Structure 1
Amino acid sequence: MTANTSILGSVSDENMSVVAYKAFMLKRRIILALATEGDCTIADLSRILSVSNPTITKLVGELIQEGYVRDLGKIETGGGRRPCAFGLVSDSGYFLGVTILDDTLCFGVIDLNKNTVTVQKDVPFAYGTNAQFVDNLVERIGEFIAALGGARDKILGMGITVKGRVDAASGVIYNTMNADGFPLARIVTEKTGLETIVENDTRAMTYAEYLSGGSGGVQNALFINVGRGIGVGIIVRGKLYYGKSGFSGEFGHIPFFDNEKICQCGKKGCLETEASGMALETIFAERMREGASSILSDKFLRGETVTMHDIIEAAKNDDVLSIDLITGIGEKLGRGISVLINLFNPELVVIGGPLSEVGDYLMLPIRTALNKYSLRLVTRDTTLRLSSLGDTAGVLGAALLTRNRMLGIL
């Protein structure tokens, strides 16, 4: 893996003349304009960038030669000479997304025009120590890129999503293994030569759903990631909301219940203690010990761990106990979401993450709870729906965030 030296790569004005640097940055602005506005004529680009037609014409010509822009031919106008339109060449550059899950990785690639090129799920992965974690990650990344064939030399950047707290600005992760902070983005960049960003998994999922999930111009939205934990991604006025320190969205750690259950964060009574995948696993084990029956009974009685994913699959196969427990989780989760709706008054709430795979078994009790606990005037204009991207939301979000940061959109 080698460092990216493309028009979108890092550049220092110390390495080129003033004239060359200005031309380089103008080319970036042209690519940005085409990425945000879509296909444009020379006149359009001149107006958008406040740069003369001759200069735009010259630089667009150079970008065509470099393979980033293509001439789409003449277009119809209201009269007079028909101008040519120009657009980005989709396969002139690619952006890699990597999602780190409990014991697997997911890879995804998008092109310069945000089209999904490929997604690979369930790649085995082991954490180990910090050093082993990075080495294993870099090795799996290298294997994936090598398998891309000719596209591997056009990877412009990479985004990695992880669970837990992430300082996206610095690329430092904070989780159980790295409570004091670990500079994952810097280390992976050094080891791979690819410009790398790191983002929280829920925020990446939120961004993908917002851009590519059919949100239809919504400006204020919430994405609820329901897995073993619970997180919320927040879109305000069309932008991801991070908060002062970049750690917004700790929905699962709202002190919601008056119980003595200790959350993974060390506090008591968090929403996650009764309305998450971890809570689902705990409640299932309790019901088994009480003598309840399930298609998972044999596995439990053999002393094997019954996971959230096992219970999800059982519910899909009409296991009554699993369905009942997920319904209870949905009702409690709906109460929590009603608080968010009363606070944010969003246009859209999207439910995603592993537990959303059960569909109406989760959604119906959430809807019922929203009707019961949220204010009617606040919630009447809020649309609630399942994620349209499913388990690809995180990896596509990682790639989209990388693309848009490198293009200067973010």
Structure 2
Amino acid sequence: MSQTFFEELNNETLGGVAYKNLSLKKKMIAYFANINNATIADLAKELNASTPKVTTLLNELLQEGLVHDYGKVDSTGGRRPNLYGMAPDAGFFIGVEVKRYHINLGLLDFKKNLVKFVEKIPYDLQNTAASLDDLCKIVVKFIDELPVGREKILGAGVNLSGRINYATGYSYSFFHFDEEPLSRVIEARIGIRTFLENDSRAMAYGEFSSGTVNNEKNVLFVNLDHGIGLGILINGQLYYGKSGFAGEFGHIPFFNNELICHCGKKGCLETEASGAALVRKFQEKLKEGFSTVVMRKHKQPEQITLTDIIHAANNDDMLAIELVAEIGEKLGKGIAMLINLFNPELVILGGSISTTGDYIRLPIKSAINKFSLSLVNNDTQLILSRLGEKAGIIGACLLVRNKLLSLA
């Protein structure tokens, strides 16, 4: 019995004609997934293959239900050709976005439709075996409740903050107490092929593929959350660096202070301009006697969270607005440095703090104008994320799709 396309993908012994046919099928799917639907003539030209060969391979994909016949296309004359494209339900991908205090999960089909999205499941991210167990249990529960069978789920992408080696699957910031790569540890527990990615890079790719990016190819995505992350796209490709650690923007030694960052060093940008810094500054102000609507919910300043402060700012609380603006100015100075270095077309502000809108964007924009070279920043747009909490999920799923099918 002949193997299916996905069985062939995992068969490392393929050679000769079978390997060449698999390569052509992958190129067909790449075209359908990343570009558009096409006729047989279009595919033959794109793949530089004969029409009979393309027809044969296309029929095999049709029989497996991976490709769909979308009917006749308009023609200026002669026989109208059929238009083919990916079947949305040919396969699905799971995205898992691990935040400091919650988890987002999503299911994406081949046509980039978000079939299911569950956000803000309570979770406490700690570098412990118990925290990893909780993560895996949440993912397994999500899979068990999906409207599609496990056999249709081709892979899962897990986004974590910190230093991730996407190529090896190792995490060096969380859950690094096992000799095996974290991707394999999670894969064994959830029963689905798993890939690991840095959260800011996945969010950047999500926005690039399905969000605010139009024709721009050189894009910076600044993830403003409890920490500060950076996703870099150069000429439309994610930039990883030598070991996959590129983008540690939050750990630039920006300040001459004695504040110890969670990375162990002093003076990092995160110590003065991150969500964690915002919470610390807010609590200090309360102890000094400043008033805020947030205290209607809490008895002690220590109980206040970043979510509380963001909600307060969006409801016109002056203390929250002033402190968001304060960290925005410091962030803007850091982003000005990035603009001078990369000269990007677009800088996207994402993450939880970006949901304060102009309260964070305007002080950042003002600092960029003040500290970056005007000739450089004139060509750079500063915008807010359009996908919000969905950016990392969509990015994770699409990166898994690319890795599994070699579409990148």
Query: Residue type matched to 2:283 in 1?
Result: A
Q: Do structure 1's residue 280 and structure 2's residue 281 form an aligned pair?
A: no
Q: Deviations over 1:264-313 (max 9, x none)?
A: 11211111111111111111122112111111235565354211111111
- Residue aligning to 1:254: 252
The alpha-carbon deviation at position 75 of structure 1 amounts to: 1.5
Task: Please identify, of 394-403 and 24-33, the stretch whose mean Cα deviation from structure 2 is larger.
Answer: 24-33
Report if the CA contact (8 A) 2:4-2:64 is conserved. Answer: no
Q: Which one of 375, 378, 396 corresponds to residue 377 of structure 1?
A: 375
Structure 1 residues 193 and 26, CA gap change in structure 2 (3 angstroms):
farther
Give the TM-score normalised by the residue count of structure 1.
0.93
- Residue aligning to 2:10: 11
1:95-244 matches, cutoff 5 A: 95-126=93-124, 130-175=128-173, 177-178=175-176, 183-244=181-242
- Residue aligning to 1:316: 314
Structure 1 residues 40 and 177, CA gap change in structure 2 (3 angstroms):
closer
Q: Deviations over 1:315-368 (max 9, x none)?
A: 112111111111111111111110000111000000000101111111111111
Structure 1 residues 84 and 128, CA gap change in structure 2 (3 angstroms):
same
SS of aligned partner of 1:258: coil
Query: What is the alpha-carbon distance in structure 2 between the residues aligned to residue 348 and residue 247 of structure 1?
Result: 22
Q: Which one of 37, 46, 55 corresponds to residue 57 of structure 1?
A: 55
Structure 1 residues 286 and 130, CA gap change in structure 2 (3 angstroms):
closer
Query: What is the alpha-carbon distance in structure 2 between the residues aligned to residue 344 and residue 130 of structure 1?
Result: 37
Query: Residue type matched to 1:396 in 2?
Result: I
The alpha-carbon deviation at position 133 of structure 1 amounts to: 3.7
Report if the CA contact (8 A) 1:156-1:195 is conserved. Answer: yes
Report if the CA contact (8 A) 2:259-2:266 is conserved. Answer: yes
- Residue aligning to 2:42: 44
The alpha-carbon deviation at position 8 of structure 1 amounts to: 3.6
SS of aligned partner of 2:303: coil
Query: What is the alpha-carbon distance in structure 1 between the residues aligned to residue 377 and residue 177 of structure 2?
Result: 38
Query: What is the alpha-carbon distance in structure 1 between the residues aligned to residue 168 and residue 115 of structure 2?
Result: 28
Query: What is the alpha-carbon distance in structure 2 between the residues aligned to residue 153 and residue 180 of structure 1?
Result: 28
The alpha-carbon deviation at position 407 of structure 1 amounts to: 2.3
- Residue aligning to 1:271: 269
The alpha-carbon deviation at position 12 of structure 1 amounts to: 2.1
Query: What is the alpha-carbon distance in structure 1 between the residues aligned to residue 147 and residue 138 of structure 2?
Result: 16
Task: Please identify, of 26-35 and 264-273, the stretch whose mean Cα deviation from structure 2 is larger.
Answer: 26-35
The alpha-carbon deviation at position 104 of structure 1 amounts to: 2.4
Report if the CA contact (8 A) 2:212-2:385 is conserved. Answer: no
SS of aligned partner of 1:159: strand
Give the unaligned 5+ runs of structure 1. none
Query: Residue type matched to 1:403 in 2?
Result: R
Structure 1 residues 17 and 227, CA gap change in structure 2 (3 angstroms):
closer
Query: What is the alpha-carbon distance in structure 1 between the residues aligned to residue 213 and residue 182 of structure 2?
Result: 31
Query: What is the alpha-carbon distance in structure 2 between the residues aligned to residue 59 and residue 41 of structure 1?
Result: 13
Report if the CA contact (8 A) 1:272-1:279 is conserved. Answer: yes
Q: Do structure 1's residue 365 and structure 2's residue 357 form an aligned pair?
A: no
Percentage of identical aligned residues:
47
Report if the CA contact (8 A) 1:223-1:233 is conserved. Answer: yes
The alpha-carbon deviation at position 235 of structure 1 amounts to: 0.5
Q: Which one of 23, 43, 54 corresponds to residue 25 of structure 1?
A: 23
Q: Deviations over 1:352-392 (max 9, x none)?
A: 00101111111111111111111111000111100001111
Report if the CA contact (8 A) 2:186-2:194 is conserved. Answer: yes
SS of aligned partner of 1:197: strand
The alpha-carbon deviation at position 180 of structure 1 amounts to: 8.7
Query: What is the alpha-carbon distance in structure 2 between the residues aligned to residue 292 and residue 198 of structure 1?
Result: 43
Query: Residue type matched to 1:159 in 2?
Result: G
Query: Residue type matched to 1:227 in 2?
Result: D
Query: What is the alpha-carbon distance in structure 1 between the residues aligned to residue 76 and residue 327 of structure 2?
Result: 58
Structure 1 residues 337 and 394, CA gap change in structure 2 (3 angstroms):
same
Query: What is the alpha-carbon distance in structure 2 between the residues aligned to residue 333 and residue 8 of structure 1?
Result: 45
